[in-house]
């Protein structure tokens, strides 16, 4: 063990195990988590060369082989349910890297479960759950991802044959991006525009076979392939797909909510947005993905910052650990705090999701708008912060952060698209804003608001100027966030009205106000995260040493947000210049307070080395010797003299020498 890391751990003010239990739901669940992780990490069948040293084709093949073994072993070990899978599959076997069955489990199966009738489930779900067929979720097209009503693929009903005719009328109508489509899937849930008797009914989901179950060749009329290399996701065959008048039976439309009768009568769903249910589910889960990815990057950068010594702080003194530079703390600690904040927000989001789904399943769809607004806002906020945080962690590791040996580039490349997939973040924030504007106007009209928007009912009066307040007090901070969100929603609503009064129609007024609207929706989401973090600490079951350190983190998270967005808090005089100055001082003091606990706080995320997959973030801190060992394994080092030397460099050098 590196002595610096040992000292850090010895000096912590709390036992990290207590936080591990808090984060993962108690000792029994922690035990299960560790068992499943180590089962996957120590399985010789899952060992392979570092993916960073492989070509894309090799990565795909390796991940496919592993995916198949994972399925077989899950059955053998009785691993089931999302929590088990997160530990065994997502973190353990795949280290959160994309695999070619990812869309089958994350979207294809949930869509069948959520959108199919009982008869349709009987027909397909068992096959899909048992991997007799592999599917994906084919929605996005080359021309349209965001604007679903603009999708061009058509499903035209023919009452004579009781079939749908699937067709891609244009190049831009080509399905583009669906994961696992390029080479793996033989089925997909296809989102296509439903046409009956020449009338359009909007996007609907259809179950479509695209490849032969005999030889895996595309079925007649289907063109399908891989879209080529991407920023990350090398192990996933994101694909393209086109149809040339492919016919499928009527009952291949997933008809739990809307139906087409044999004669072509369309039966409306209780809400047309129920067809978008899988996206809402995945958005709710992406908050966990963001929290975890950020936590991993912060773990790596924090441990490394205690091992790394650089420069002279005091002349003649030993080089300090770089984490002793306050600027380094300022890079990392706010993201450490954010990772905790989003871990707790993710748990809250998942429970709101399941509670809401229970009601929706019972036919109560009134909860859908709030669920959509909350999941859209939290997915966007958490993935934005994650992306910025991972990049900050990379820079905080200096040059070595840029090497794949750090593990950070892979985390970044694999999780950056969370800001884009499952709904582009700005677009989703505008969806949250739409709900806020609606709620605000209901409240202005005297309706009582409930749930996450109840606070919009009235913007609190601005306190008398000069009032002193303790900005370290979490209640004061929560009120400040609440005030800021309510005010920004109120002002965006006023601005929207002003634009309309100035002669703009609603869409133009909306567009003109959209920067303010995104700001308001972001503030609303941040308020939720801060309030939820503080509420988690109020639980009397939380151990006092844990509460103390997490309270500091919560204060840091909230204060950092205040300082970073100080204009929002100052603009209407709610906070004063003195408050902001105080906040900055408190941040410095909190960082000093948290410094001795930093390593214990990242240890408490409980990522074993096998999952972190990082030389810099090793638990034992033995970074340098392993860095050299890792580099030696690079394919370019297989021989001392690379064959290209004989082909190119040798004749070039010889010719140059001969000229002299
Ligand atoms: C250990 C950790 C493990 C973690 C593990 C994580 C897994 C992590 C790996 C996943 C891997 C994924 C891989 C990527 C998979 C793809 O990316 S799949 C493709 C995803 N695509 C999208 O998300 C498309 C985004 N676009 C949309 O959702 C919609 O078109 C938009 C943007 C919401 C707009 O829709 P629209 O029909 O134009 O609606 P609009 O006119 O704006 O609104 C109409 C009404 O419907 C409402 N509405 C719109 N959508 C909804 C909805 N979904 N629900 C309810 N109401 C809605 C609006 O709020 C509005 O309400 P009102 O104000 O009228 O009351
Ligand atoms: C790794 C990865 C995996 C994916 N997997 C799948 C999959 O399995 N299945 C699938 O169907 N799709 C998948 N997608 C596609 C993904 O869902 C879309 O890319 C995403 O929904 C964004 O849509 P878009 O590409 O059309 O972006 P665009 O909408 O073209 O976004 C471009 C810009 O326009 C802005 N913009 C667009 N509309 C508005 C608006 N109304 N108001 C303000 N600004 C706007 C956006 O904010 C953005 O800045 C995947 C994408 C990636 C990167």
Residues across the chain: 660
Which residues have any ligand 1 atom within 6 Å of their CB?
86, 90, 106, 137, 139-140, 145-146, 148-149, 179, 273, 276, 279-280, 282, 285-286, 288-289, 292, 368-369, 372, 421-423, 427, 431, 434, 438
Instruction: Quote the pLDDT of residue 272.
Output: 86
Among residues 545, 605, 20, 550, which one has the least CA distance to residue 337?
550
User: Using an 8 Å Cβ cutoff, are 194 and 204 in contact?
Assistant: yes
User: Which atom of ligand 1 sits closest to the CA of residue 373?
Assistant: 59
Cross-strand pairs, 157: 164, 196
Measure the CA–CA gap between 605 and 343, rounded to whole angstroms. 10
Tell me, what's the pLDDT at 468? 72
Whole-angstrom Cα distance, residue 78 to residue 480?
48
Residues 6+ apart with CB under 8 A from 321: 4, 305, 306, 307, 308, 309
Which of 422, 447, 571, 625 does the annotation list as catalytic? 422
CB 283 within 8 A of CB 382: no
Nearest residue to 429 via CA among 338, 519, 491: 519
Q: Whose CA is nearest to atom 23 of ligand 2?
A: 145
Whether the pTM exceeds 0.95: the reply is yes
- What pLDDT, in 10s, does the model give residues 228-264? 999 999 999 999 999 999 999 999 999 999 999 999 9
Can you tell me which atom of ligand 1 is nearest the CA of 148? 30
Q: Which residue has the tokens 């993905």?
A: 289
Task: Provide the phi-psi class of 265: left if phi over 0, else alpha when psi is between -120 and 50, else beta.
Answer: beta
Residue with CA at minimum distance from ligand 1 atom 8: 286
Q: Which tokens sit at 477?
A: 């901070």
Which residue in the block uniquely carries the two structure tokens 């420069």? 311
Protein residue closest via CA to atom 29 of ligand 2: 146
CA–CA dist 403, 281 (Å, integer): 35
The token pair at 213 is 């179950």
Report yes or no: 223 and 244 within 8 Å, Cβ to Cβ: yes
Contact 248, 208 (CB under 8 A): yes
Residues with CB under 6 A from ligand 2: 103, 137-140, 144-146, 177-179, 233, 238, 417, 420-424, 426-427, 430
Q: Which two tokens stand for residue 270?
A: 């209780």
Q: Name the token pair of 622.
A: 């033995």
- Let me know if 407 is exposed, middle or buried by CB neighbors in 10 A (0-12, 13-18, 19+): buried
Residues belonging to the binding site for FAD are: 140, 179
Nearest CA to ligand 1 atom 32: 146
Report how far Cα 555 is from the mean position of its chain's Cα atoms. Answer: 24
String of DSSP letters for 576-619:
-HHHHHHHHHHHHHHHHHHGGGHHHHHHTT---HHHH--STT-T
**Structural domains present in the chain:** 105-269 (2.40.110.10), 459-603 (1.20.140.10)
Which atom of ligand 2 approaches the CA of 426 most closely?
47
Rounded-to-integer distance, Cα 482 and Cα 523, Å: 8
Backbone φ, ψ for residue 378 (5° rounding) = -70, -35
Q: Where are the beta strands (DSSP E) in 91-186?
A: 135-138, 154-158, 163-167, 175-176
Residue 76: Cβ within 10 Å count: 8
The pair of three-digit structure tokens given for residue 535, joined into one six-digit string: 């509420």
The dihedrals phi and psi of 137, each to the nearest 5 degrees, come to: -115, 100
Give the pLDDT confidence score for residue 464 in this predicted structure: 62
Beta bridge partners of 155: 166, 194
How far apart CA 373 and CA 449 sit, in angstroms, is: 15
Which atom belonging to ligand 2 lies closest to the Cα atom of 233?
Answer: 1
pLDDT score of 271: 87
CA 26 / ligand 2 centre spacing (Å): 38
Residues in the chain predicted with pLDDT less than 50, given as ranges, are: none
Query: How large is the ipTM?
Result: 0.98
**CA–CA–CA angle 191, 206, 60 (5° rounding):** 70
Report how far residue 555's alpha carbon sits from residue 601's, in angstroms, rounded to the nearest whole number: 15
Ligand nearest to the CA of 513: 2
Residue 336 C-alpha to ligand 1 middle, in angstroms? 29
Verify whether residue 422 is a known catalytic residue.
yes
- 603, 16 Cβ separation under 8 angstroms: yes
- Report which protein residue has its CA nearest ligand 2's atom 1: 417
DSSP H/E element including 544 = helix 544-564
């Amino acid at each position: 063990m590196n002595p610096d890391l040992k000292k850090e751990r010895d000096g912590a003010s709390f036992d990290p195990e207590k936080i591990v239990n808090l984060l993962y739901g108690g000792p029994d669940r922690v035990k299960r988590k560790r068992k499943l992780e180590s089962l996957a990490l120590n399985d010789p069948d899952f060992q392979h060369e570092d993916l960073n040293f492989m070509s894309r084709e090799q990565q795909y093949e390796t991940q496919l082989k592993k995916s198949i073994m994972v399925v077989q072993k899950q059955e053998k070990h009785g691993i089931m349910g999302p929590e088990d899978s997160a530990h065994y599959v997502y973190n353990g076997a795949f280290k959160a890297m994309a695999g070619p069955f990812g869309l089958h489990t994350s979207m294809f199966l949930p869509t069948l479960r959520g959108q199919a009738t009982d008869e349709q489930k009987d027909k397909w779900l068992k096959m899909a759950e048992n991997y007799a067929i592999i599917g994906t979720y084919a929605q996005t097209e080359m021309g349209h991802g965001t604007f679903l009503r603009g999708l061009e693929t058509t499903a035209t009903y023919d009452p004579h044959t009781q079939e749908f005719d699937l067709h891609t009328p244009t190049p831009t109508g080509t399905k583009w991006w669906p994961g696992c489509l390029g080479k793996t899937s033989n089925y997909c849930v296809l989102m296509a525009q439903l046409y009956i008797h020449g009338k359009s009914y909007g996007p609907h989901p259809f179950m479509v076979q695209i490849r032969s179950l005999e030889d895996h060749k595309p079925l007649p009329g289907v063109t399908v392939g891989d879209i080529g290399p991407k920023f990350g996701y090398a192990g996933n065959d994101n694909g393209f797909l086109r149809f040339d008048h492919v016919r499928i039976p009527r009952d291949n439309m997933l008809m739990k909510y809307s139906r087409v009768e044999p004669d072509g009568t369309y039966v409306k769903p209780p809400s047309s947005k129920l067809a978008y249910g899988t996206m809402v589910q995945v958005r709710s889960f992406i908050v966990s993905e963001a929290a975890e990815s950020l936590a991993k990057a912060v773990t790596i950068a924090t441990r490394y910052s205690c091992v790394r010594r650089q420069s002279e702080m005091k002349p003649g003194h030993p080089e300090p650990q770089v984490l002793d530079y306050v600027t380094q703390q300022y890079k990392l600690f706010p993201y450490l705090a954010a990772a905790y904040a989003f871990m707790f927000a993710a748990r809250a989001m998942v429970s709101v999701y399941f509670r809401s789904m229970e009601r929706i399943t019972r036919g109560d769809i009134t909860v859908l708008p709030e669920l959509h607004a909350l999941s859209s806002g939290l997915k966007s906020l958490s993935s934005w912060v994650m992306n910025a945080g991972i990049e900050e962690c990379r820079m905080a590791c200096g040059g070595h952060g840029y090497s794949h040996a750090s593990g950070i580039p892979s985390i970044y490349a694999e999780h950056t698209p969370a800001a884009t997939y499952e709904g582009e973040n700005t677009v989703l924030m505008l969806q949250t804003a739409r709900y806020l504007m609606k709620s605000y106007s209901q409240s202005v009209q005297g309706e009582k608001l409930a749930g996450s928007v109840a606070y919009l009912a009235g913007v609190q009066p601005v306190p008398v100027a000069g009032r002193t307040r303790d900005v370290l007090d979490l209640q004061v901070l929560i009120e400040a966030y609440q005030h800021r969100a309510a005010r920004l929603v109120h002002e965006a609503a006023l601005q929207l009205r002003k634009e309309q009064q100035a002669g703009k129609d609603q869409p133009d007024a909306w567009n003109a106000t959209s920067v303010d609207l995104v700001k308001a929706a972001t503030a609303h989401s941040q308020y939720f995260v801060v309030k939820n973090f503080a509420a988690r600490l109020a639980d009397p079951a939380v151990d006092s040493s844990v509460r103390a350190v997490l309270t500091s983190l919560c204060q840091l998270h909230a204060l950092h947000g205040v300082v970073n967005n100080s204009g929002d808090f100052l603009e209407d005089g709610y906070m004063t210049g003195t408050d902001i100055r105080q906040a900055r001082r408190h941040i410095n003091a909190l960082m000093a307070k948290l410094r001795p606990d930093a390593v214990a706080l990242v240890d408490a995320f409980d990522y074993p080395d096998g999952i972190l997959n990082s030389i810099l973030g090793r638990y034992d801190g033995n970074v340098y010797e392993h860095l050299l060992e890792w580099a030696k394994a690079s394919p370019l080092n297989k021989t001392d003299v690379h064959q290209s030397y004989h082909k190119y460099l040798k004749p070039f050098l010889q010719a140059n020498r001969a000229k002299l």
